[in-house]
């Protein structure tokens, strides 16, 4: 199985926005997603990252979001470009695993209607829930999401439970022990990470934004606190990432400026 975490965009921001102990110097914050060439399941995406679809919906709240963050798209890191490099296209993707529904994780999802969609029950409930004025304050923009009915959806909780190396249980997504979903609540409803067993690697996604936050038990940055609906749960998820690292597991994050 081959796993990559391409960078589809970068956001230029103060380092302190992602790490409260950092200085005010500006840094490039990457936006990653996972591309897996699975031995038996074919091509698997873990989220879809940013894409040009970010600029299509007409929404005041989304326009404000784009203006504030000003993401620089990296064409060579776009899912379509990465697939083309291995002789494939969006129609060849067999599975998409959604870790959560923030804009930088679901752009371009509509390109993968041939795929089975895997997500936590809480994520699918949030997707199907009636719109709320709170959505945009949590960086949740429904205009970026296609209709859920367009996909064959499978909840991660329907997969068998399996023990994790650092304690607790996850859900064995394909039933072969290769990719295990790990509940990491707090950052957004239904937020999960993925443990790659053969590589002994936990992709903890947005449980933290830098490894320094994981290793040094730092508090959430003020930006993270602003969009985090359940801060106590987010701190517990941070502790899960810390426990995984302490047990010898390699922990990777979506936005860590350090190379993944």
pLDDT of residue 142: 92
pLDDT of amino acid 218: 64
Task: State yes or no: pLDDT of 24 exceeds 90.
Answer: no
SS3 of 238-259: the string is HHHHHHHHHCCCEEEECCCCCC
pLDDT for the residue 27: 84
**Rounded mean pLDDT of 67-88?**
96
Report pLDDT for 70: 93
State the average pLDDT over residues 203-218.
87
What residues form DSSP beta bridges with 116?
95, 152
The model's pLDDT over 154-179, given as tens digits with 9 standing for 90+, comes to: 999 999 999 999 999 999 999 999 99
Q: What percent of the chain has pLDDT over 70?
A: 96
Domain ranges for the chain: 2-253
User: Percent of the chain scored above 90 by pLDDT?
Assistant: 76
Q: Which of 42-51, 53-62, 194-203, 245-254 has the lowest mean pLDDT?
A: 53-62
CATH of domain 2-253: 3.60.15.10
pLDDT of res. 63:
92
Confidence label for 139 from pLDDT (cuts 50, 70 and 90): confident
- The pTM assigned to this predicted structure is 0.94
The model's pLDDT over 28-43, given as tens digits with 9 standing for 90+, comes to: 899 999 999 999 999 9
Instruction: List strand residue ranges (DSSP E) for the chain, in order.
Output: 2-4, 7-14, 26-32, 34-38, 42-46, 72-73, 93-97, 116-119, 152-155, 161-163, 169-172, 179-183, 192-196, 201-205, 250-253
Q: Which of 43-47, 77-81, 127-131 has the lowest mean pLDDT?
A: 127-131
Stretch 198-226: mean pLDDT:
84
Hey, how many other C-beta atoms are within 10 angstroms of the C-beta on 256? Answer: 22
pLDDT confidence of residue 251: 96
**Mean per-residue pLDDT for 138-155?**
93
Residue-averaged pLDDT of the chain: 92
Q: What pLDDT is attached to residue 16?
A: 65
């Amino acid at each position: 199985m081959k796993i990559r975490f391409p960078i589809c965009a970068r956001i230029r921001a103060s380092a302190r926005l992602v790490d409260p102990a950092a200085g005010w110097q500006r840094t490039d914050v990457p936006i990653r997603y996972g591309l897996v060439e699975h031995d038996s399941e074919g091509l698997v995406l873990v989220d879809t990252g940013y894409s040009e679809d970010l600029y299509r919906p007409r929404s005041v709240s989304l326009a404000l979001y784009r203006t504030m963050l000003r993401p620089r798209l990296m064409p060579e890191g776009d899912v379509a470009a990465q697939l083309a490099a291995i002789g494939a296209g969006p129609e060849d993707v067999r599975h998409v695993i959604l870790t959560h529904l923030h804009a930088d994780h679901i752009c371009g999802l509509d390109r993968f209607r041939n795929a089975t969609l895997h997500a936590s029950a809480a994520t699918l409930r949030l997707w199907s829930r009636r719109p709320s004025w709170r959505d945009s304050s949590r960086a949740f923009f429904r205009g970026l999401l296609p209709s859920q009915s367009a996909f064959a959806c499978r909840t991660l909780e329907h997969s068998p439970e399996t023990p994790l190396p650092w304690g607790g249980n996850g859900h064995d997504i394909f039933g072969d022990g290769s990719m295990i979903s790990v509940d990491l609540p707090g950052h957004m409803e239904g937020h999960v990470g993925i443990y790659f067993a053969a590589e002994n690697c936990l992709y903890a996604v947005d449980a933290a934004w830098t490894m320094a936050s994981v290793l040094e038990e730092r508090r959430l940055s003020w930006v993270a606190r602003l969009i985090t609906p359940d801060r106590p749960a987010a701190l517990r998820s941070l502790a899960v990432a810390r426990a995984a690292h302490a047990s010898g597991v390699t922990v990777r994050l979506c936005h860590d400026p350090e190379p993944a």
